[in-house]
Amino acid sequence: MRILVLEDDPELGPVVAAQLRGAGFAVDLARTLAEADLKLSVNSYDCVVADRSVPDGDSLTLLAGHRRAGSALPFLLLTALDAVSDRVAGFEHGADDYLVKPFAFAELVVRVRALCRRERPARPSVLRADDLEVDLPRRRVSRAGVLLSLSAKEFAVLEVLMLRAGEVVTRTELIESCWDEASEPMSNVVDVLIGQLRRRLGPPDAIGTVRGVGYRLGGAEQKPAAEARA
């Protein structure tokens, strides 16, 4: 899941981004309304965490503009403005949640995860494919009943593959879902992560490679359709 954080504080912004990344999210950071609006126009996000007061205005204007355009993207307002009137204004402009500074990072992570789930179609809390089981609320993975230890990024990639079990997931789709602007899309970051994930899951290999395309949960290495017909 990919999150946009709009926060101009040079200390708090990177810390919020780091905390969310540590919880398994891909995070892009913007420091102005203009920068946030540009990122929203070119990237696909699952949630926006926005400070109310930034150098070029109030993030309520950004929120209201996207709501007028028909966007249902979840917005969580993160702000020191704690008066009832401020919270009411936030919700009236279309905010989905409101967290007042100072706050606990654990609470921020839980609220963001809940908003991301709200935006997605209903799905089971436990995903299963063959002998693999992923418990999404508890962030647990097991294979053949054995609990496995995965990093946050490994869990994020496995979640995408499990949600689309049996389908080919391209490298680009994995990049867009699990990485942020700090990643280099042309590098082998996806291939390296898949290699790590395969070692974590153990034999037999649960993730098949579709050469030149991407990966599929289950099955051995596949050839592209054009190559297979040759």
Within the chain, which residue ranges are assigned CATH 3.40.50.2300?
Answer: 2-119
Return the amino acid letter for 193.
Answer: L
pLDDT of residue 227: 38
pTM comes to: 0.67
Give me the pLDDT at residue 136, please. 83
Mean pLDDT of the chain: 86
Coil, strand or helix at 135: strand
SS3 content of the chain, % helix, strand, coil (to 5): 40, 25, 35
176, with CB counted inside 10 A (0-12, 13-18, 19+), is middle
Query: Rounded CA gap, 52 and 107, in Å?
Result: 18
pLDDT band at 221 (very low <50, low <70, confident <90, very high): very low
How far is it, in rounded angstroms, from Cα 115 to Cα 191?
A: 30
Give the CA angle between residues 167, 172, 176 to the nearest 5°: 105
User: What does the pLDDT average to over 88-105?
Assistant: 90
Q: Where, residue-wise, is CATH 1.10.10.10 in the chain? A: 126-229
Specify the fold of 2-119.
Rossmann fold (3.40.50)
Tell me the HSE value of 187 on the side-chain side, using a 13 A CA sphere. 8
227: tokens are: 């190559």
Task: Please give the average per-residue pLDDT across 65-82, as a whole number.
Answer: 88
CATH of domain 126-229: 1.10.10.10
Q: Is residue 70 pLDDT above 50, yes or no?
A: yes
What is the C-alpha separation between 24 and 64, in angstroms, rounded? 29
pLDDT for 64 beyond 70: yes
Residue 151 neighbours by CB distance under 10 Å: 14
pLDDT at position 61: 92
223 compared with 87, residue with greater pLDDT? 87
Residues 20-32 pLDDT 10s: 998 889 999 999 9
